[in-house]
Amino acid sequence: MTRPGDPAQARPRRFSLRARVMLLAAISVGVTVALVSLGAYLTVYNNLYQQFDDSLTERAMAAVESPTVQSRVQSIPGAFLVSSDIQIGLLTATSDMIHPRAGTPPPWGPPELAVARGTTGSSLRTDSATDMRVIALPAGNGVAMVLAQSLEPTKRTLSDLALVLLLFGGAGIVVAAVAGTAVARAGLRPVERLTSATERVARTMDLRPIPVSGDDELARLTHSFNTMLDAVSESQERQRRLVADAGHELRTPLTSLRTNLELLLAASKPGSPSLSERDRTEIEADIRFQLDELTQLIGDLVELTRGEAAREEAERVDLVEVIERALDRARPRAGEVEFETDLRPWVLTGDPNTLERAVLNLLDNAVKFSPAGSVVRVVSRPLGDGTAVVEVADAGPGIAEEDLPKIFDRFYRSSEARTLPGSGLGLAIVKQAVERHGGAVYAGRAPEGGALLTIRLPGVPG
């Protein structure tokens, strides 16, 4: 039950699309039928009255020219004897009307009298009192021939025509409404399916695709909607995996932190065995190490999430400058590992900060696996096909064949890397950043035997 002030009560209900299509079809046909019927009626109306007037004029002229017939009293026009279907008479200038005795005198008035007196050449009018068409022509010697014929048959014909047009027009409107309903029902059925599917998605979050039939615009719309559902489903799955993997990775350092803190708290209670200075120092160092891992993991998760957000405004990026800035940041924490560079100019459009973070992750990864005193080789060179590569080769143990396809996955850590610090997100961030710029990432073995990580980016020579 709606209450006063309820928006559902205040807002008037609108016609459905099906009702609007049916109404539009009915109105369109109705207007068309009305215009055609009006045009047909006016055409027939004008033609009938024109034929009526032409016929009456011809009979009046024939009556004027007809020979006179001598009766017992006076001479009369011969037309008096063959005028059973009309009213005929001679009107004199003195307002006397001479007509057949067996007939009715035609109506007359000032227009006919003016013809008799010679002031006008002819007269043709409709007498409203008798609903007759009256014509007057001069017959000579101050006399006018007056003929009158009833308009009733003509009006009856026009009335029958109007009724027929009305009936057929109404039938056409009804047929148009029925046809419009059928067309709307058939044409909007895919729209109803699409609407039901969107309501199902909103209600149950079930992202199954909608069946597609046909190849019209609605089928294309359904294909587009299915593509959107696939994208949403994939995004949900990525989020689900990210949350699950992040929870798994967070569980280990949090468990270690909790264990170490519980040891410290237990040792600080009265009557509990105290910890030696060495044990306390090791526990505190372990806590700092776990906190560093948590900080790095959370930072990498934030970076990964930020990378999935909307793109920043793109700008012109000098790839050599990006690599050199990343090298400046990597050298202080590289220890005894050296960098050997061979950088060729290359320019692209994108986000320089994101690309710098990607290159820095590659450098940090190479340093982590390289022994002290070794060299990490950094090369950037164009390939001649509109792309350039940045290669980072280390002198470490390399990547096992079974690990190569998974090395850029989130939270994936090879057996060699599990004993080293890291979140398992660094190379995933590299892959995401490069793919956002239209590039690709590859992993392989360097000629020196270590790992060779390559990013490939579109652009132009600098």
The 3 state secondary structure assigned to 361-428 is HHHHHHHHHCCCCCEEEEEEEECCCCEEEEEEECCCCCCCHHHHHHCCCCCCCCCCCCCCCCCCCHHH
Are 430 and 366 spatial neighbours (Cβ–Cβ below 8 Å)?
A: no
172/306: higher pLDDT: 172
First-last CA distance in the chain: 71
Mean per-residue pLDDT, 289-302: 70
- For 60-94, how does the pLDDT look when each residue is reduced to its tens digit (9 = 90+)? 888 888 776 555 555 566 566 556 678 888 889 88
Percent of the chain clearing pLDDT 90 (strictly above):
22
pLDDT of residue 381: 92
Mean per-residue pLDDT, 117-136: 91
Does the structure show a pLDDT above 60 at 433?
Answer: yes
- For 200-232, how does the pLDDT look when each residue is reduced to its tens digit (9 = 90+)? 777 877 777 777 776 777 778 778 878 888 888
Does the structure show a pLDDT above 50 at 234?
Answer: yes
Q: Nearest Cα to 85, choosing from 72, 100, 67, 70?
A: 100
pLDDT of residue 8: 46
pLDDT of residue 159: 93
Are 123 and 134 spatial neighbours (Cβ–Cβ below 8 Å)?
A: yes
Range from 117-131, 133-147, 303-317 carrying the lowest mean pLDDT: 303-317
Place of tokens 């003929």: 147
Q: How buried is residue 252: exposed, middle or buried, by Cβ count under 10 Å (0-12/13-18/19+)?
A: exposed
176/134: higher pLDDT: 134
Does the structure show a pLDDT above 50 at 401?
Answer: yes
Mean per-residue pLDDT, 389-404: 84
pLDDT of residue 435: 86
- For 308-343, how does the pLDDT look when each residue is reduced to its tens digit (9 = 90+)? 544 556 788 999 999 999 899 888 888 888 999 999
Mean per-residue pLDDT, 11-31: 74
CA distance 339 to 283: 35
Does the structure show a pLDDT above 70 at 4?
Answer: no
Q: Angle at Cα 169 formed by Cα 168 and Cα 172, nearest 5°?
A: 85
Mean per-residue pLDDT, 169-184: 82
For 281-309, b where at least 16 C-beta lie within 10 A, e where not — what string?
A: eebeeebeebeebbebbeebbebbeebee
Helices (H), 205-216: none
- For 240-252, how does the pLDDT look when each residue is reduced to its tens digit (9 = 90+)? 766 766 665 667 6
pLDDT category, 387, cuts 50, 70, 90? very high
Report all structural domains of the chain as residue ranges with CATH numbers, in order of start: 17-156 (3.30.450), 208-310 (1.10.287.130), 314-461 (3.30.565.10)
- Work out the mean pLDDT of the chain and round it to a whole number: 80
pLDDT of residue 26: 80
pLDDT of residue 456: 92
Q: Angle at Cα 261 formed by Cα 255 and Cα 267, nearest 5°?
A: 135
Does the structure show a pLDDT above 70 at 14?
Answer: no
pLDDT of residue 310: 43
pLDDT of residue 192: 77
In this structure, the chain runs to a length of: 462
412/440: higher pLDDT: 440
Q: Two tokens at 449?
A: 């035997």
